Structure 1
Amino acid sequence: MSMRSRPVATRSRLYVVLGMLGLASSALVVRAVDLQVVRKDFYQEQGDARYLRDLSIPVSRGTIFDRNGEPLAVSTPVDSIWANPPEVLEHADRIPELAKAAGLDEEALKQKLVERSDKEFIYLKRHLNPDDAQAILKLDIPGVASQREFKRYYPSGEVFGHVLGYTNIDDRGQEGLELAFDDWLAGKPGVKRVIRDRKGHEVENVELVREAQAGRDLTLSIDRRIQYLAYRELKAALAEHHATSGSMVILDVPSGEILAMVNQPSFNPNARTNVDPSYRRNRAVTDVVEPGSTMKAFTISAALETGKWKIHTPVDTRPGTYTLYGHTISDVHNKGLIDVTGVITYSSNVGAAKIAATMTRDHMYDVFHRFGFGEVTGSGFPGESPGYLPVAKAWGPVEQATLAYGYGLNATPLQVAQGYATLANDGRLHSPTFVKGAQNPERAVVDPQIAANLRAMLETVIVSPTGGGAIKARVTNYRVAGKTGTARTAVGGGYQKKYTSLFAGMIPASHPRLVGVVVIREPQGAFYGSLVAAPVFGRVMDGAVRLLDVPPDDVQNWYAGSPESARRIQAPRQAPDGADEMSGTDDGVPIE
């Protein structure tokens, strides 16, 4: 009996084991169906809510300083609120609360979330101060979180707007030096790998993928104090003369560094919206003008270089007009028999044209081009214009004559400043630079003696009691050399009865440290450079030389109209009869 019962027990146990295995297999199948089919969406969401992410580590943009270490552009930390649209829509009842806290339109927010419901990340509000961001986060709305970013701030507002430019909301340079030095300033964001929970909070830092590299600082050549002076005086001049726009550039002669560059109208780079695009143009480097009589300094430089002309070689400008191939060139008054220096002193168009006629067009072009006309200055400013200097083979006799007194070519205020700085620096040209202490080699343009002669000639414009009338460019206790210019505005093959007023000068004339160029476009009423642009130069330089502790060079002899000061510069020869029309005045008002 016992021997027959054993097989039965063995089969029973085998059935039990098989049954248990079957049940286990069925359970696994049921569980798999539950996970893969019935509850797939739930577990997919849970998996998506907690997983590895590579996150960017934001970096602060480098600070921009003026030459004395004053901050001009700084980055401040801000928070940006973002959302996971599907998760927020799951709690749609809280959208009104979120819209109110973020200052958003409720319907617009709902529409935005619905339209991007297939996304996991959208910005709701960017660049909030930390307190405002925390007020939104305290609502604890599912799917809403914050992210650290940086916002650019410009302490000086529109005073530096054109030079600095601005950054966009992603902190990338868009215009000005912010754009020119974007790679230097921006740095490189880092990357870290983290685990984030379903609310977007970082649960664990897994590893640092790439270390962040903060943006590098930049020290400019600009002097904030002088920039403010130039900005204030230029703005006042535009208001006084009801002009449409204006520019001023100040260069440091020994280095070529740009100490100030201002334009009007201007804009505030802290406000990115509702700004007229024309207000954002840095007209000192992007807009061109016909330089008018300021060009005569370079014409005379070319003449002296030929050896045919000396500073006192006679030039007959009688009767005040010069007809060339049916084209009449005129002076405001008959200057009579003068000399080469007198062409500068009395700003004679006739004299400049007659001197130009004795030179080859190739030589004149070469000298103008050497001074930097017709090509960008090399400042590196985005959008800088090269101006326009027609090639020599395109010059006819009339074109050569008009080029001699500043018509038929275009130049930016910075190009004119570069040319005058070259004369001030003994004929050696430095490319203008915005960076303090930058490597800036010089190149010889004209003989130092020619440059010295031109400086002496340009000083007669300021000190001569019967000269070019730029007495308003004078600075107490300092000798000034410079040239006025008044050019009619060119349009479509002709000229309007609108003018551009210019003054280009250097101080102190005995050993120039600063060069300044003032350009004021379309002043109303008085329009001569001596009345409109020269006073701006005088007022700005009066402050600039003192801020920079430039030693005065005319303490003993200076006062308005000082005969001693005038005699220090040998007077240009005048017409034998000493006619009144040579005085360069019209009813006592200085003209050019």
Structure 2
Amino acid sequence: MKKSMKKRMSKDFKAINTHNIPKFTLLIYIILGVFFGFIILNFINLMIFKSIDDSDLQKLGEEKFTRSITLDSNRGQILDRHGEILASDMEAYRIAVIVDENYPNHLTDKKKMSKELSKVMSMSEKEITKMIDEGIKNDRFQVEFGTKGRNVSYKNRKQLESKELDGLTFIPEIKRFYPNGVFASHIIGFSEPNEDGRLVGSLGIEREYNEALDGEPGYSNYTQDIWSYVVPGTLETESAVDGMDVELTLDSNIQLYLEESLDEMQEYFEPEELFAFVADAKTGEILGAGQRPSFNPDTREGFGNSWLNVLYEYQFEPGSTFKVFGLAAAIEEGQYNPNQYYESGSRDVMDTTIYDWETEGWGTITYNEGMQYSSNTLMMDLQDRVGADKMLDYYKKFGFGETTESEFSTEAKGQIVWENELQQKTSSFGQTLSVTPIQMIQGMTALLNEGMMKKPYIVKSVTDPNTNKTVYEGKETNVRQVISKEAAEKTVDEMNTLVAGSMDRNSMYALDDYGVTGKSGTAQIYDPEIGGYISEPYQFITSFIGYAPKEDPRVIVYYGIKRASKNKSDTWDYGVSLGFNPLMERTLKYLEVTDSTEGSDAEEVKVEDYTGKKIERVANLTNDSLNVIYSGEGDTIKDHYPKNATLLKNETIYVKTDGELTMPDMRGLSKREVITLLDFLGIKASLKGEGYVKSQSIAPNTVLGKKSSLTIQLDSNDPNN
């Protein structure tokens, strides 16, 4: 049976294999074989080479599912010497209006849009409508409004959003914020977004310290799945590193006085140029710096009027202010006797007659009288006595002809022209050669610091906010000993006669409360177009470099004006005193500088320890010899400051009595006085602004509770004036 079955199956199998297969079936087999063979070959290729048709699949996968996000860093702040913000980052917005009707949120009410946008942008409704119409005509998706549609504040954004304007959108961006407007603008500078949207310094400290301010952006890399979830284990993050903070030596209050002074001088004279600089006479720190024309880095108003940083880059012939350095050289060489006589008027040099500003001269006068008159012939005589080559060496020792190696890479070095006798002689009174204001200030520090020249500086510190570590600290630096201590003292003695001295010259610079002196200058201006000096009346650079107090100089102010177009004759009659005087006086009072000459004659008040005594029994508190600030309801002295000290008449003493602590009247006190008083009383307060107390949130004589909240508003104007 089994054998028969096996034989039968064998026959059937042979019958099948010998049966003819249809052609189309064979074709299907062939196609399927080729297809599967292709798949197998590509699979092998994929496993080995990971690519198909020269495409890297791994790369394609990474591009599709790998994400990388840049984490922006904050640009460092620029601060004044007290930590007040001069430049910082803030979020702003750029306005765009979507006009594509295929987009769900598109413009529907053009008139309403134009009306509302005109309220926050410097554009009229008509201008806005025109730009929108152009966008629609050119089939744009959205319309933007250039610089006028940028830097929109958060407040204005909320205002516009409340109007529910279809099609309005806000694009966030980082804006550099300059809260003070025209305020040491050429020193601070400005920064602008580059093509990648990062802020880059374009001028001033913003540019010079761009690398430190910039910081480093971070990143976040990860892989996501097809549902956009982060694949576990793929997240890689590097935090952004914020830029460093740069603190300047500028004092915002002094800078405010300076800017106000320049504004007043600009309005009165309408000159071609103005400048004013304030420096610490002891250390060389720049406390204030300003110029006109200037610009507002926040609004861009005034951009392009002048990019020149006058303090460091302006090269000009200084005129008679330069004479003090020739005077110092002559004194050092023993060639200046204030009582020696000479003939004033004129001198012939290389076929050229050089005159004093008073062409007839003043006859035979003493050297000191010649200095007070600012005699050109005196300076030429002194150069002859010292020797031209030796005088040139002194000019170089004072730093002229070279930079001060400041924080600004664009600093100019001026030029000493010394090829012939005529150039040498005219240089003696500040013509022919060129200087920069920072060189003049540096040279003056040598005269005021016993012959030791101080390097001016404007960067106080650079701090890393990520670690709170100071990576750079500006400090007082001695450049070199230019002249001896004895020669410097004699030079200062001579300079102290130049304002309201025996000849009563330059008395317009005298102040009531401080002894001020310095050197004035009226420099001719060279015009390359005419190949000579401008000869029109009053077309000069008029300047004054002065210091105060005379006996113990604390502050240097250098003030200058070029080519006034209004009230021209006043630059000859009054110089720059209309700007110099209030700036110097306000600065000295703000710094609470006491004039030693005034103090030597002033009445002294000896303060003992009055603790436990009745107020009525202490004469110094009741006879108006001191300015007394009281706190307390009682009449018995519980504490006072200072104790066991000597004060000058009308100086301030703080007294705490028994009974409930009361709020003293602080109006008119300076910021420093307020800080001292609050510390003495143990009161915490929020101080807003700089200068002098304008108002206080708690009225005087109010009993202070434990939770009293005190806010004190200060203002730059001295209410005691």
Interval containing the TM-score (normalised by the shorter chain): 0.7 to 0.9
The reply to whether residue 218 of structure 1 matches residue 246 of structure 2 is: yes
The reply to whether residue 330 of structure 1 matches residue 355 of structure 2 is: yes
Structure 2 vs 1, CA of residues 303 and 197 (structure 1 numbering), >3 Å: closer, same or farther?
Answer: farther
Structure 2 vs 1, CA of residues 191 and 112 (structure 1 numbering), >3 Å: closer, same or farther?
Answer: farther
Structure 2 vs 1, CA of residues 296 and 56 (structure 1 numbering), >3 Å: closer, same or farther?
Answer: same
Q: TM-score, normalised by structure 2?
A: 0.63
Partner of 1:550: 593
| Residue deviations 1:45-104 (CA, integer Å, cap 9, x gap) | x9799532333211111111111111111111346799xxxxx99996569649989987
Partner of 1:249: 277
Q: Give the counterpart letter for 2:506 in structure 1.
A: A
Once the two structures are superposed, the pairs formed by residues 188-227 of structure 1 within 5 Å of their partners are 188-194=216-222, 206-208=234-236, 210-227=238-255
Structure 2 vs 1, CA of residues 51 and 112 (structure 1 numbering), >3 Å: closer, same or farther?
Answer: farther
Structure 2 vs 1, CA of residues 90 and 528 (structure 1 numbering), >3 Å: closer, same or farther?
Answer: closer
Partner of 2:517: 481
Q: Give the counterpart letter for 2:84 in structure 1.
A: E
Aligned-residue offset at 1:413: 1.9
Work out the CA distance in 2 between the residues paired with 1:109 and 1:420. Answer: 65
The reply to whether residue 458 of structure 1 matches residue 458 of structure 2 is: no
Work out the CA distance in 2 between the residues paired with 1:485 and 1:349. Answer: 12
| Residue deviations 1:327-377 (CA, integer Å, cap 9, x gap) | 212221522333332232110111111221223222111111111111222
Contact 2:99 2:106 in 1 (8 A): no
Work out the CA distance in 2 between the residues paired with 1:75 and 1:338. Answer: 62
Q: Give the counterpart letter for 1:56 in structure 2.
A: T
Aligned-residue offset at 1:326: 2.2
Partner of 1:441: 477
Partner of 1:572: none
Q: 522, 526, 530: which is aligned to 2:563?
A: 522
Partner of 1:567: none
Q: Which runs of 5 or more residues in structure 1 are unaligned?
A: 33-42, 83-87, 115-124, 559-592
* Matched positions, count: 519
Partner of 1:399: 423
Partner of 2:435: 411
Work out the CA distance in 1 between the residues paired with 2:88 and 2:151. Answer: 15
Counting aligned pairs with the same residue, the percent is: 26
Aligned-residue offset at 1:258: 0.4
Aligned-residue offset at 1:464: 1.3
Structure 2 vs 1, CA of residues 109 and 288 (structure 1 numbering), >3 Å: closer, same or farther?
Answer: farther
SS at the partner of 1:549? coil
| Residue deviations 1:508-563 (CA, integer Å, cap 9, x gap) | 111111111111000242264661313322211101011111122232799xxxxx
Work out the CA distance in 2 between the residues paired with 1:420 and 1:475. Answer: 20
Name the structure where helix makes up a greater proportion of residues. 1
Contact 2:105 2:166 in 1 (8 A): no
Work out the CA distance in 2 between the residues paired with 1:203 and 1:145. Answer: 30
Work out the CA distance in 2 between the residues paired with 1:317 and 1:297. Answer: 20
Work out the CA distance in 1 between the residues paired with 2:551 and 2:430. Answer: 26
Structure 2 vs 1, CA of residues 361 and 97 (structure 1 numbering), >3 Å: closer, same or farther?
Answer: same
SS at the partner of 1:72? strand
Once the two structures are superposed, the pairs formed by residues 195-344 of structure 1 within 5 Å of their partners are 206-208=234-236, 210-272=238-300, 275-307=302-334, 309-318=335-344, 320-331=345-356, 332=358, 334-344=361-371
Q: Give the counterpart letter for 1:157 in structure 2.
A: G
SS at the partner of 2:89? strand
SS at the partner of 1:158? coil
Work out the CA distance in 2 between the residues paired with 1:109 and 1:127. Answer: 24
Partner of 2:708: none
Aligned-residue offset at 1:405: 0.7
Partner of 1:585: none
Partner of 1:58: 72
Once the two structures are superposed, the pairs formed by residues 529-548 of structure 1 within 5 Å of their partners are 531-548=574-591
The reply to whether residue 499 of structure 1 matches residue 546 of structure 2 is: no
Aligned-residue offset at 1:314: 1.5
Aligned-residue offset at 1:174: 0.3
Q: Which runs of 5 or more residues in structure 2 are unaligned?
A: 43-56, 118-127, 142-148, 461-472, 602-721
Larger radius of gyration: 2
Structure 2 vs 1, CA of residues 107 and 245 (structure 1 numbering), >3 Å: closer, same or farther?
Answer: same
Once the two structures are superposed, the pairs formed by residues 66-145 of structure 1 within 5 Å of their partners are 66-78=80-92, 97=107, 105=132, 132=157
Question: Cα RMSD between the aligned structures?
Answer: 4.3
Structure 2 vs 1, CA of residues 551 and 107 (structure 1 numbering), >3 Å: closer, same or farther?
Answer: same
Work out the CA distance in 2 between the residues paired with 1:99 and 1:305. Answer: 81
Contact 1:95 1:110 in 2 (8 A): no
Contact 1:477 1:553 in 2 (8 A): no
